[in-house]
Structure 1
Amino acid sequence: MVEAPLPPPNTVAVAAVAEGRPAIMAELHDAITRQGLSLVDLTWEQQRLHESRRWSVVEMLGAVDFTKLSDSDRHLVWNAGRAELTTKPGADRLERLADLECRRWLEKDATVAAIMQACGTWSRYWNEEEAHHETAFNRLSTVMRLEPVSNATFIEFRKVFPDDDMLRTLTLLAISEIVAAVNYGQCAAIIQDPGLRALFKQVAADEIQHMTYFISFAKALVDSGAYKAKEAFAVAHLFLRDGGEVHGSKRERVEARGTHVNWWDHLEHREGMYTPDALHKKEQLIFHALKRITGITVDSREGVEDTWMDLVGC
């Protein structure tokens, strides 16, 4: 076998410079079908962005001044640590489901199969970044001697989510990242200690990046024609309806779930402690996500429900 010669070093350097700033591919379906990018190409872009965003939990925690933290700050950290325990099973499930869907589509639509595999491949970066969040907040809780997370709670929060339609799954994940990002951003705005504020801001920025990835994968599935916009709107309605998931543990009735744990169902609100809300901002970001995924514009909760009903033919 004759091996192809390696390009000269200066060619490699020029190619690296020409790649430009790492970014999420907003038009993933187009990148695969029109630009002809392979899964190796897509993985390289994922890696470049991941490396450009890496940060150190140890360094972040080293910048926190524990003497300046209020009781409210401590409560925010404690809630965040528990919530982040649920992200690993989400990422593990996404990797498995994406691979199953990839192989299901392989003979029917190679583009959809590639989208699924790109999504499953990226989940390793999502898992790593969420591990940063989980360990940062829970280590802070341990150092501050807050109420510990028992092994039973840890194991309970690690339950793997049941499988669902892939577009529904990606839309739900995008919306959950929206809720998390807004919450963390609201927390950062009221925290006085620069070190802890920087940690919450970093985590919020990570969640926005994750949201953008989920939107990209979901949009690619809709662009392929294999998945219908109604599924994205069904999930959005689940969150935005009266008493919907966007209200988290504040809603009047929180469903009992034996199969998995949704982090927003388990946030504890204590009297006198700050609780992030910003419902309007969350709604606006959900409307924007729906626009990006489906191309359909809505600007109200009622609009989401009406559009969903129209799409299902009611």
Structure 2
Amino acid sequence: MEDGPSSTPGAQEQEGRPAIMAELYEAITQRGLSLVDLAWEQQRLHESRRWSVMEMLAAVDFERLGEADRHLVWNAGRAELTTKPGADRLERLADAECRRWQEKDPTVAAIMQACGTWSRYWNEEEAHHETAFNRLSTVMRLEPITDATFIEFRKVFPDDDMLRTLTLLAISEVVAAVDYGQCSQRVEDPGLRALFKQVAADEIQHMNYFIAFAKALVDSGGYQAKEAFAVAHLFLRDGGEVHGSKRERVESRDTHVNWWDQLEHRDGFEVPESLRKKEQLIFHALKRITGITVTSRESVEDTWMDLVGC
């Protein structure tokens, strides 16, 4: 978006196509957008992208789904259970950070509150993903998710530095978007393919929002690029999080559940990887957040070490 909301008559016709505000810090400090303005832009984009789970599932031809398709659906449904606690944590953390920054830097406080406000849309869209895949699993009589697993996967993530949190969420969406995109290419039924493509598109949108909020924090001067690189290194290092449940050592966590640790790899059924594509998108995200260009896992580590003074 190039122009901020206007209060003049007929302004609605002048607003243009809904879009994520990529230059959020500038929008607040130079264009004077208020939190009400930002919430309106979020609502416009959300409404323009709404879709129906029931309509999407009605287009799936269950007779065409093979065992490999069923495995992809089952894994997706389990993984999506972990997104609600992520969104719940983001709302809570953003509000707490907003109030911590309110007197010190009102602009940072506004960025935090805009992020927390948007989390309601993230939560709703992820609910679409979760219920769609788990309903498919139920109808196809796949291995049921027990109440104990449901409750375990709902553990709310512990709080962390906000820039680290947003970078982790952006990278998580990178991994999810690539995986769902790969799934859409592997299934044959047009209805299921459309569902995977829609979910992948949603995850890309979420990634772009997280990048925009993270960039605004760096632009404010209140947060340092080293925190974003620390999280990227966690994913990209040898045996890092980007390898998901295939890495040699998967940490045991009592506090929360990471969806990428829970994907099950069964004999005869492929689970998407596309590591190179994920790496490239992570490099691009770091560039957008921090302005620093990296082109390899090694350069991510080197840059992180330089930023922390090692």
| TM-score calculated relative to the size of structure 1 | 0.96
1:310 maps to: 306
2:95 maps to: 99
Q: Which amino acid in 2 is paired with 1:237?
A: H
* C-alpha separation in 2, matches of 1:94 and 1:47: 18
Selected match of 1:164 from 155, 160, 164: 160
1:155 maps to: 151
Selected match of 2:263 from 260, 263, 267: 267
Selected match of 1:109 from 100, 105, 110: 105
1:137 maps to: 133
2:250 maps to: 254
Partner secondary structure for residue 122 of structure 2: helix
Q: CA RMSD in A?
A: 0.7
* C-alpha separation in 1, matches of 2:110 and 2:72: 40
1:222 maps to: 218
2:142 maps to: 146
Q: Which amino acid in 2 is paired with 1:112?
A: V
2:192 maps to: 196
1:3 maps to: none
Any idea what the Cα deviations from partners look like across 1:247-296, whole Å, max 9, x if unmatched?
00000000000000000000001111121010000000000000000000
Selected match of 1:290 from 282, 286, 290: 286
Say yes or no: does 1:63 pair with 2:83.
no
* C-alpha separation in 2, matches of 1:17 and 1:309: 49
* C-alpha separation in 2, matches of 1:202 and 1:102: 32
Give the CA deviation at 1:185. 0.1
* C-alpha separation in 1, matches of 2:66 and 2:223: 48
* C-alpha separation in 1, matches of 2:171 and 2:116: 18
User: What is the aligned residue count?
Assistant: 304
Selected match of 1:40 from 36, 42, 46: 36
* C-alpha separation in 2, matches of 1:200 and 1:71: 16
- Structure 1 unaligned spans of 5+: 1-6
Q: Which amino acid in 1 is paired with 2:196?
A: F
- Work out the percentage of aligned pairs sharing the same amino acid: 85
* C-alpha separation in 2, matches of 1:70 and 1:282: 27
Say yes or no: does 1:212 pair with 2:172.
no
Give the CA deviation at 1:17. 1.5
1:78 maps to: 74
- After superposing on structure 2, the runs of 4+ consecutive aligned residues of structure 1 that deviate more than 6 Å are none
Q: Which amino acid in 2 is paired with 1:60?
A: M
2:3 maps to: none
* C-alpha separation in 1, matches of 2:219 and 2:87: 24
Say yes or no: does 1:22 pair with 2:15.
no
Give the CA deviation at 1:16. 1.0
Q: Could you say which structure has the larger radius of gyration?
A: 1
Q: Which amino acid in 1 is paired with 2:187?
A: I
* C-alpha separation in 2, matches of 1:268 and 1:17: 49
* C-alpha separation in 2, matches of 1:44 and 1:274: 42
Any idea what the Cα deviations from partners look like across 1:132-157, whole Å, max 9, x if unmatched?
00000000000000000000000000
